[in-house]
Amino acid sequence: MTRPMMLAVSAILLLLLTVPVMAGEAATNLSYDVKVMVDNQPVVFPDQKAFINNSSGRTYVPLRFVTERLGAEVEWNQQDKTAVVKKGGKTIKAPVGSNRPTVDGVAVHLDAPVILVNARTMVPLRFMSETIGAEVEWNSAARTVYIKAINESDDIIDEPSDTGKKEITPGSIVEVTADNLNVRNGPGSSNSVLWKVKKGDKLTVIESSQNWCKVKLADGRIGWVSKTFVAVVGKKDQGQTGPESGEQGETDKKDGSSTVTDWTVEEVDGNLVTTITSSGAMVHDIFTLTAPSRVVVDLKGVQPGELPGEIEVESNLVKKIRTGLFSENPSTVRLVFDVNKPVMFNATKGDNGKGTELTLKLYVPDLGTSLKGKVIAIDPGHGGSDPGAVGPTGLKEKDVNMDVGLLTANLLRQNGAQVVMTRTTDTYVDLYQRTKIAGNAGAGVFVSIHMNAHPDASTAGTSTYYRRDDVPGLGVSQQDNRMLAQQIQSQLVQYLNRRNIGLKQANFVVLRTAAMPAVLVEASFISNPEEEALLRKDTYRAKIAEAIAKGIAYYFAQKES
């Protein structure tokens, strides 16, 4: 073999050793029966088809063929093994083997890395398409991804042009007058875009601030839009006369013909139990508010009757209860429980022969003594620039993970544990840093909290992961990993009553780098419409938190037995 040929072969071998490729077991876990349509035209891939990685649930496409169809320029940096995509002044750099591409120099975390297959750079479809300006939809029945390019000329630059001239008051119904209008997370074009609404969409105004208004979308999502691109078309009767306002539950069309006829409050074994009886049907919604901590119960389709305005309560959990008529259309009675500390709650409702009876229990679960003195790391997945999965109506996984993580931490602390959290706000924390935080704190276990996602929206259920392979030097037995996963999964299935997907094994970074027993919880599928709706409810999130906390307690109890 000549020296030049030897050098060429060596270079190829080095490339194969240093660049991640799909092969062996990983390559067999792919589904190639997926079609890609861009602006209703099929994309033909001459040598490497698009596929779904069934392990991650992510759809991969050859980067060049899709991005160029969307009007982007693609370059390949051989030295850095990086694909560079440019469009409209935006530059995306996607290094092969990395799940940290950059967008205009800012790192974005992906749960699935860029990979090389048959000399083609394969990228997670949704990330790349949406980053360069496209709408992506998945049709599970047709096994087809539909990509629609967004015309930048139709994307409203929502800086108001008629400053101070348009009066829109809370309670107004407004209609979008622009083809595409940004919905932002605050008043002002410097705030990030959450979603887009289309011409003709109707929104309910919650608050008005100079040239912006806070609106509620038809599906319940809330954000800010410019007044310049909406027009008032009606008025909604708010009728607020009761306790302070906050996030409301689902709208109910009851006419308020039912009346509260009886209400009892008592403390039972340290728990606060209240029972409300109405003369007819009522719909209830329970949620929490913070700063200060409150539990709020809305009774819809009900008039207050002789309900007292305020009750002082002699309880370790609750200071007082305030009541009032929150809304007249629909008629809604609101009960506000001012609590002394974070509490859990559950409710049961039934027909007592004379009407409807709702029993609400506020409590702090007694998880035994096994948690006392234990150091536990709680890791709310994703955060900051990394939203995680996003549900059909826009619910972000990172927000659910954070809320469940805080609830879980509160429960553990109230039962004697010391809790270290990898994040307590909406910030991004590097995956390797998460287990380092746990290790530095001397944590006895590490629990990462996530919500699952899948291209098939019908997929639903609960699963818990632990490490797949033994990692030398960690000093953590697979027996302990599995025991922790089993205890938490058992409680999740019992509390949530969702499909039991069971225990799974994977070498996620947070599992293979944890120097203590570690699990990753996938509590429910945010991509499933039914489970996304459940994940919006505080009651469901509280169940997830209590199940996780109880599973951890049972793990330590089993270890000590």
Report CA torsion sign: 465, 468, 470, 474.
negative
CA distances, 290 to each of 167, 199, 214, 313 (Å): 31, 35, 20, 20
How far is residue 526's CA from residue 306's CA, in Å, rounded to a whole number?
42
Considering 357, 397, 522, 546, which one is annotated as catalytic? 522
The two tokens of residue 551 are: 């599973």
Angle at the Cα of 203 (from 426 to 244), degrees rounded to 5? 65
State whether 182 and 265 are in the same domain. Answer: no
Q: Is residue 369 part of a domain?
A: no
How far is residue 412's CA from residue 552's CA, in Å, rounded to a whole number?
9
Strands of the sheet with 271-278, listed across from one edge: 302-303, 258-268, 271-278, 356-363, 344-351
- CATH number at 388 reads 3.40.630.40
The pLDDT, as a whole number, for residue 170 is 78
Neighbours of 332 (CB within 10 A): 29
Q: Is residue 167 part of a domain?
A: no
Pairing of strands 172-176, 230-235: antiparallel
How far is residue 175's CA from residue 161's CA, in Å, rounded to a whole number?
18
**DSSP label at residue 396:** B
Q: Across 96-236, where does the E strand assignment appear?
A: 102-103, 106-107, 115-117, 120-124, 134-139, 144-149, 172-176, 180-184, 193-198, 202-209, 212-216, 222-226, 230-235
How far is residue 197's CA from residue 181's CA, in Å, rounded to a whole number?
5
Domain of 83 in residue numbering reads as 3-150
State whether 301 and 390 are in the same domain. Answer: no
Q: Is residue 240 part of a domain?
A: no
The pLDDT, as a whole number, for residue 107 is 61
Q: Residue 409, CB half-sphere, CA atoms under 13 Å: how many?
A: 20
State whether 296 and 402 are in the same domain. Answer: no
Nearest to 363, CA basis, from 415, 312, 399, 400: 415
- CATH number at 203 reads 2.30.30.40
State whether 139 and 197 are in the same domain. Answer: no
State whether 198 and 281 are in the same domain. Answer: no
How far is residue 172's CA from residue 176's CA, in Å, rounded to a whole number?
13
Question: What three-state secondary structure class fits 287?
Answer: strand
How far is residue 157's CA from residue 539's CA, in Å, rounded to a whole number?
39
State whether 408 and 354 are in the same domain. Answer: no
**DSSP label at residue 228:** G
Nearest to 410, CA basis, from 269, 290, 246, 284: 290
- CATH number at 307 reads 2.60.40.3500
Q: Specify whether the backbone of 461 is left (phi greater than 0), alpha (psi in -120 to 50) or beta.
A: left
How far is residue 385's CA from residue 429's CA, in Å, rounded to a whole number?
10
- CATH number at 105 reads 3.30.457.10
State whether 385 and 529 are in the same domain. Answer: yes
Whether 252 contacts 330, CB under 8 Å: yes
Q: Is residue 242 part of a domain?
A: no
Q: What is the CA radius of gyration of the chain?
A: 27
Q: Is residue 40 part of a domain?
A: yes
Whether 311 contacts 265, CB under 8 Å: yes
How far is residue 463's CA from residue 452's CA, in Å, rounded to a whole number?
9
Q: Is residue 243 part of a domain?
A: no
What's the number of domains the chain is made of? 4
Nearest to 333, CA basis, from 297, 371, 372: 297
State whether 297 and 381 are in the same domain. Answer: no
Name residues whose C-beta falls within 8 Å of residue 120's C-beta, 6 or more positions apart in sequence: 47, 48, 62, 63, 64
State whether 384 and 351 are in the same domain. Answer: no
The two tokens of residue 193 are: 């875009």
State whether 183 and 143 are in the same domain. Answer: no
Q: Is residue 247 part of a domain?
A: no
175 is catalytic: no
The pLDDT, as a whole number, for residue 225 is 86
The pLDDT, as a whole number, for residue 483 is 95
Whether 370 contacts 415, CB under 8 Å: no
CA distances, 139 to each of 51, 144, 346, 373, 456 (Å): 14, 5, 37, 50, 8
Consecutive H or E run containing 492:
helix 478-496
According to DSSP, the residues that pair with 212 across neighbouring strands are 209, 226
The pLDDT, as a whole number, for residue 489 is 96
Q: Phi and psi (nearest 5°) for 152?
A: -60, -25
State whether 49 and 120 are in the same domain. Answer: yes
Q: What is the mean pLDDT of each run of 10 residues along the chain (561 residues)?
A: 40 35 47 77 76 71 73 80 78 79 66 75 70 66 72 45 61 83 73 72 81 77 81 63 38 58 89 92 82 84 84 88 82 89 85 86 91 96 91 92 93 93 92 95 97 90 90 84 96 94 93 95 94 91 95 94 78
State whether 228 and 289 are in the same domain. Answer: no
Q: At what angle do helices 478-496 and 538-560 cross, to 10 degrees?
A: 140
Name residues whose C-beta falls within 8 Å of residue 35's C-beta, 6 or more positions apart in sequence: 42, 50, 142, 143, 144, 145
User: How far from chain centre, in Å, is Cα 19?
Assistant: 32
Nearest to 397, CA basis, from 536, 547, 545, 526: 526
